[in-house]
Chain A
């Protein structure tokens, strides 16, 4: 179904690409910010460095409040393979370690190291790799991890994990598309630092050994295209391609499709179709880490929008609160009826909840739109099923159906319509004539489904625990019953085996009864009470022997015997009386 390696190379050599379905062409607005060089800005008094800035788990804190730290010093250690450390953006003192508003749409406070700068900006001792070409692959990967690099284009996936690849790799793709309107940080980086980006690519090539490198730049950045081409011209297997401008061409899946015609499987990774992709800023950071030994502590951030009087690109340290960036951009409050700051671009960015929100590794832009520039959303109207949304969806989803099922909370249906293949690019909501915030509904539905899954997992676990417990109890019960059964069988068997023994017991019982009979004979008048005592004895015998029916029989015999005794005693008494009477008669006769 997909093109093979040679076909792709052939087409790339003449810059003939494929296309992805849908897509939109929002106004670019890049020229607002891409006219001047990236500026350096003065040190901040305070930095707010979140401990976790990427997908994965957070590292363990290595510093404590009051510690004196140097620029580039590790603040956290990466303990699990999925964690990436963070570093001090400058030298100073750890003022506090506490929860601080996060660079996330929710703004939920996250554990952050708050650093008071000392103004010296003293580096920790740097340890560059002298010659990466001679270095071991695993050492380089470790260095990349230690430098705290995670994907700087989108989701912030830990770079060392992506780089630790063992599958066959055909295309190393360098993403310089930057398809979001307004943003120009990658554009400026390519224009000014093409050589260092190329160094980063060289390092990746050394580690990954791809068959071909593709550097993809959108055709609205002719200068960047040129500088990248010049930087890569000696390398025969590096190909700089010019990608037609269309949003979201820079999406990982879409770019793979545009360059290779291949589709990343829904539940897979680009490597499954022979590709790995890095953002240009990530390449730059990799070169910094290996060649200079510098960790990732700053990045290019675009300050733009008509709410800023001087839009531009700046080098911002990670942890810089956006309020100081707003100052550098000359924020003009009169352009906004209520302050609105977007981190990221107009299509996928989010509005920050506080001006103290820090810059993190993935923050490529602070967009300050004037009211008339990106008007506040209106209330949504009914969906008229016009399918404008499905016409532009790059994932070929049916956004109107997803919307329908997300809104009505028919989550299973939404999943059936591949909700999780939605990349949240916002193209659908951009064109929707009813101004339905479609992506918002999808995010909510996704979160609901994730929650449900977690709940289900939890209840499944509880259910399993319960089932295991009942099974165990059942087993124990069965084992117990089995033991009793065996025991009683054993007793029966032993009884049958030495029948003499049992007969002895009966005989003994009979003998006891006989003895008692004799006692009764002596005390015939107290027969009733004696009987009671005997009954008690027979009961205790019963529990002693377990030979229930036989004992009963014995008891019955005993009863019968007692009756006989009583009768015999009475007869004897009567006989005795008669004898006495006869003797008396005899005496009377004789008298």
Chain B
């Protein structure tokens, strides 16, 4: 008798696999990256390249060691995506070893040590970001001013040179690159306001400084809008659901609005918070990492909203100017609890699952 081929139902599959999903998310970051290059130079490209290479090598070696199907695992693009998200989160001209260490940490420790894709409790990119921030605070906060107001412009070659040697091809250091046309050292808009507030200025006074364009940091607004575009594309194509970005932005906006209405001199407006720093990329690309986020519908709303709140709280009262990474990690820890208490009610049951038996 001929052997028939046997398989278990369903025999039908929707053809979008994990690799495709991850790849599409990677593509969706392209507008944001382009905007970043336009305003802040080529540094980000070098960081991305270094991160991806490190991630693939790390993951590949670990897969070989664990005797898994290396090629198949690499093709799921999850390592590439994590590397990409870390690379766009760090200062573009940070020294090469920062991103290499960070990416290695993200893949080897945060992801693989916990058992590989699907098992990691923490968002690898954000865990690595926090590790870097704590270990290398200077390098991790050396953000450049937008090219338009930088005293020294730099080329692609300069960017490569700086990342690997610390100096541009013409010998300028990152410190020098940070100097704006007005001769003062530049910081990120969030830093700027934070420092100004500590020095007794009001928010409005702080935002009159040269790196600002109205309420927004020069360039930052456009970069955020570009990421927003990519994020909306993901929602439209059902790669991510709206719940996490929606609730995260809404809660951040609500809290900052309340504070702003109470004291507009001490607290920045919701728009300032949304479009400066990495709230947008965090909402659409980072908090939505499926592995470390909540999995139920209600849970995602709570998860997103809580991250939004943490971001505003840490930005206003915490020690760090931006807070996406901390907020995401805090909520990663809460995910098992959130998931447990937000289980949907199963068909034909009166109560939520696992509580009515």
Contacts and interface: CB of A to CB of B under 8 A. Distances in A.
Interface centre among B3, B8, B12, B339 (most CB of A within 10 A): B12
Nearest to A386: B290
B65 interface: no
Interface in A398-420: 398, 400-401, 415-418
A42 interface: no
Given A338-B3, A439-B10, A416 B346 contact: no
Contact of A430 (B13, B118, B347): B13
Main secondary structure of the interface of B (DSSP, over half): loop
Contacts of A338: 3-5
B7 A376 contact: yes
Nearest to A427: B10
Given A384-B290, A385-B295, A394-B347, A105 B72 contact: no
29 contacts: A24-B14, A26-B12, A105-B8, A265-B348, A266-B346, A266-B347, A268-B348, A338-B3, A339-B2, A339-B4, A340-B6, A344-B9, A350-B8, A351-B11, A369-B11, A374-B13, A379-B69, A379-B72, A381-B17, A381-B117, A384-B78, A385-B295, A386-B18, A387-B290, A395-B347, A397-B346, A397-B353, A426-B12, A439-B8
A435 B13 contact: yes
Contacts of B13: 374-375, 377, 429-430, 432, 435
B11 A346 contact: yes
Interface string A433-448: 1110101100100000
B320 interface: no
Contacts of B76: 381-382
A312 B74 CA distance: 44
Contacts of A350: 8-9
A560 B349 CA distance: 92
B116 interface: yes
B354 interface: yes
A384 B348 contact: no
B4 A377 contact: no
Interface residues of B, number: 45
A265 B356 CA distance: 13
Interface string B206-232: 000000000000000000000000000
B134 interface: no
A361 B297 CA distance: 41
A421 B241 CA distance: 26
B21 interface: yes
B349 A418 contact: yes
A433 B21 contact: yes
Contact of B10 (A265, A429, A434): A429
B118 A426 contact: no
Interface in B60-75: 69, 72
A483 to B, nearest CB: 50
B201 interface: no
Contacts of A421: 346-349
Given A257-B347, A346-B11, A440-B8, 20 more contacts: A181-B12, A253-B347, A266-B346, A266-B347, A338-B5, A346-B10, A349-B9, A351-B4, A374-B12, A381-B17, A384-B117, A384-B290, A385-B291, A387-B295, A401-B339, A418-B349, A432-B13, A433-B18, A435-B17, A439-B8
